[in-house]
Amino acid sequence: MKHLVVATRNKGKILEIKALLTGLVDQISCAADFVDFPETVENGATFEENALKKAREAAIYSGLPALADDSGLVVDALNGRPGVFSARYAGADACDAANNVRLLEECQNVPENHRQAAFVCVLAFVTPEGVERIFTGRIAGQILSAPRGEGGFGYDPLFLVDVFGRSMAELTLAEKNEVSHRAQAFTRFRKYLEAME
């Protein structure tokens, strides 16, 4: 594929995506590379609805194949919260630190052996011609009682990855790209692109 636009302004996410799609896409642009790129109102009830809405708007605006994801943290003891509200859990303009503080407050009375959670990623690929595909990834873990690690972004410092026994923020980018919810969804997307060639 020659050119793909990713409907995000998150630089951390773009770095991960470029690493995950090496060799399959010649050029990857993001929302910040365009003037007046539309800000999608994420009002869907599911990750899939939000991802599709963002990808559709990006494909229409750019005239290029578009990729969008809606990712979030699902905590069993919190009835699936923060879920689709993961990026704005502590409010509309909340930063990662504020969201993490709210999560810790909500999990304060949840015993450690009941803090099961998962990161979920739903990836939507949409072309200007109307092709639409969905790819999903999920990684299981637990919510820690305090942040650990310096890497990653979002809830990574609070998410203990079951298969590593370390927080997502303690993993190298290579380790994260082996197991993360986003990596799983992108592995499925890569296979789709490879089959198209």
Report the catalytic residues.
Answer: 70
- Phi, psi for residue 149 in degrees, rounded to 5: 100, 160
Q: Which long-range contacts (CB under 8 A, 24 or more apart) does 80-87 make?
A: 81/106, 83/47, 84/42, 84/44, 84/45, 84/46, 84/47, 84/50, 86/154, 86/155, 87/154
DSSP 121: E
User: What sign does the CA torsion over 156, 161, 166, 171 have?
Assistant: negative
